[in-house]
Structure 1
Amino acid sequence: MKNALRILCPNGHLGFAPTKEESFWIGAETQPDYYCCDSGSDDIGPVPLGSDISVSFYEWQTHDLELMLLASRKQGVPMIIGSSGDTGTNSRVDMYVDIIKNLAKKHKLAPFKLVYFYSEVSKEYLQQKMQQGIAIEGLDGRENLTPEELEHTERIVAVAGVHPFIKALEMGADVIIGGRSSDAAVFASAALYEGFPEALSYYLGKVLECASFCAEPYMAKESVIGTITDEDVKVTAMHPQQRCTIASVAGHAMYERSNPFYEYFAGGMLDMTHCQYEQYDEKTTRITNPLFVPIDGKTKVKLEGAGKIGERYIGIVGVRDPYTIQNIDKVIEWARSQVAERFSESEYQLYYKIYGKNGVMGDLEPIKEIRSHELCIVVEGIAPTEKIAEEVTLIGARQIFYARLPEVKGTAGTAAFVIDGVLSAPPAYQWTMNHVVPVDDPMELFTMHELTIE
Structure 2
Amino acid sequence: MSNNKQELRIICPNGHLGFAPTKEESFYIGAATKPDYYCCDSGSDDIGPGPLGADTCASNIEWQKHDLELMLVAAREQGVPMIIGSAGDTGSNSKVDMYVQIIKDLARKHNMPKFKLAYFYSEVSQEYLKDKMKQGIAIEGLDGREDLTTEQLEETDRIVAVAGVHPYIQALQMGADVIIGGRSSDCAIFAAPALLNDFSESLSYYLGKVLECASFCAEPYGAKESVIGTITRDDVKVTAMHPDQRCTVASVAGHAMYERSNPFFEYVAGGMLDMTRCSYEQFDDKTCRITGPEFTPVQDKVKVKLEGSGKVGEKYIGIAGIRDPYTIKNIDQVVEWSRQQVREKYGDSGYGLYFRIYGKNGVMGDLEPVKEIKSHELGVVVEGVAPTKEMAEEITLTGTRQLFYARLPEVKGTAGTAAFVMDEVLPAGGAHVWTMNHVVQVDDPMELFPVKMIEIG
Q: TM-score, normalised by structure 2?
A: 0.95
Displacement of 1:262 in angstroms is: 5.8
Corresponding residue number in structure 1 for 2:321 = 318
Matches of 2:276 and 2:307 in 1, distance apart?
29
Matches of 1:264 and 1:291 in 2, distance apart?
15
Other structure's SS at 1:382 match = strand
Letter in structure 2 aligned against 1:422: V
Displacement of 1:360 in angstroms is: 9.7
Matches of 2:452 and 2:24 in 1, distance apart?
31
Corresponding residue number in structure 2 for 1:393 = 396
Question: In the TM superposition, what are the counterparts of 1:359-378 in structure 2 within 5 Å?
Answer: 369-378=372-381
Q: Is the 8 A contact 1:313 1:381 kept in 2?
A: yes
Corresponding residue number in structure 2 for 1:109 = 112
Match of 1:17 among 20, 39, 46: 20
Corresponding residue number in structure 2 for 1:152 = 155
Greater CA drift, 345-354 or 100-109: 345-354
Structure 1: gaps spanning 5 or more residues: 362-366
Q: Is the 8 A contact 2:163 2:268 kept in 1?
A: no
Match of 1:174 among 165, 174, 177: 177
Q: Is the 8 A contact 2:188 2:269 kept in 1?
A: no
Greater CA drift, 27-36 or 349-358: 349-358
Corresponding residue number in structure 2 for 1:161 = 164
Question: In the TM superposition, what are the counterparts of 1:188-227 in structure 2 within 5 Å?
Answer: 188-227=191-230
Matching of residue 141 in structure 1 with residue 144 in structure 2: yes
Matches of 1:345 and 1:16 in 2, distance apart?
38
Matches of 2:207 and 2:268 in 1, distance apart?
14
Displacement of 1:261 in angstroms is: 6.0
Matches of 2:15 and 2:356 in 1, distance apart?
30
Match of 1:347 among 345, 350, 354: 350
Matching of residue 118 in structure 1 with residue 121 in structure 2: yes
Other structure's SS at 2:283 match = strand
Corresponding residue number in structure 2 for 1:34 = 37
Greater CA drift, 80-89 or 323-332: 323-332
Corresponding residue number in structure 2 for 1:364 = none
Q: Is the 8 A contact 1:264 1:270 kept in 2?
A: no
Corresponding residue number in structure 1 for 2:367 = none
Matching of residue 249 in structure 1 with residue 257 in structure 2: no
Letter in structure 2 aligned against 1:137: E
Q: Identify if the C-alpha distance between structure 1 residues 302 and 399 changes in structure 2 by more than 3 Å, giving closer, same or farther.
A: same
Q: Deviations over 1:264-298 (max 9, x none)?
A: 54322112232222211111111122221111111
Q: Is the 8 A contact 2:264 2:272 kept in 1?
A: no
Q: Is the 8 A contact 1:257 1:263 kept in 2?
A: no
Cα-Cα RMSD: 1.7
Corresponding residue number in structure 2 for 1:8 = 11
Q: Is the 8 A contact 2:382 2:396 kept in 1?
A: yes
Greater CA drift, 251-260 or 301-310: 251-260
Matching of residue 275 in structure 1 with residue 269 in structure 2: no
Other structure's SS at 2:187 match = helix
Question: In the TM superposition, what are the counterparts of 1:288-437 in structure 2 within 5 Å?
Answer: 288-344=291-347, 347-358=350-361, 369-437=372-440
Matches of 1:80 and 1:23 in 2, distance apart?
19
Q: Identify if the C-alpha distance between structure 1 residues 19 and 345 changes in structure 2 by more than 3 Å, giving closer, same or farther.
A: closer
Q: Identify if the C-alpha distance between structure 1 residues 236 and 356 changes in structure 2 by more than 3 Å, giving closer, same or farther.
A: same
Runs of 4+ in structure 1 deviating by more than 4 angstroms, as ranges, are 260-265, 367-370
Greater CA drift, 374-383 or 252-261: 252-261
Q: Is the 8 A contact 2:203 2:293 kept in 1?
A: yes
Matches of 1:242 and 1:325 in 2, distance apart?
43
Other structure's SS at 1:412 match = coil
Match of 2:241 among 230, 238, 241: 238
Matches of 1:126 and 1:336 in 2, distance apart?
40
How many residue pairs match? The answer is 449
Matches of 2:299 and 2:235 in 1, distance apart?
26
Q: Is the 8 A contact 2:268 2:303 kept in 1?
A: no
Match of 2:287 among 284, 288, 295: 284
Greater CA drift, 105-114 or 321-330: 321-330
Q: Is the 8 A contact 1:263 1:271 kept in 2?
A: no
| Identity across matched positions, percent | 74
Other structure's SS at 1:292 match = strand
Matches of 2:329 and 2:76 in 1, distance apart?
63
Q: Is the 8 A contact 2:268 2:305 kept in 1?
A: no
Matches of 1:377 and 1:257 in 2, distance apart?
30
Match of 1:62 among 46, 60, 65: 65
Corresponding residue number in structure 2 for 1:73 = 76
Greater CA drift, 329-338 or 371-380: 371-380
Matches of 1:332 and 1:407 in 2, distance apart?
17
Matches of 2:443 and 2:362 in 1, distance apart?
55
Structure 2: gaps spanning 5 or more residues: 365-369
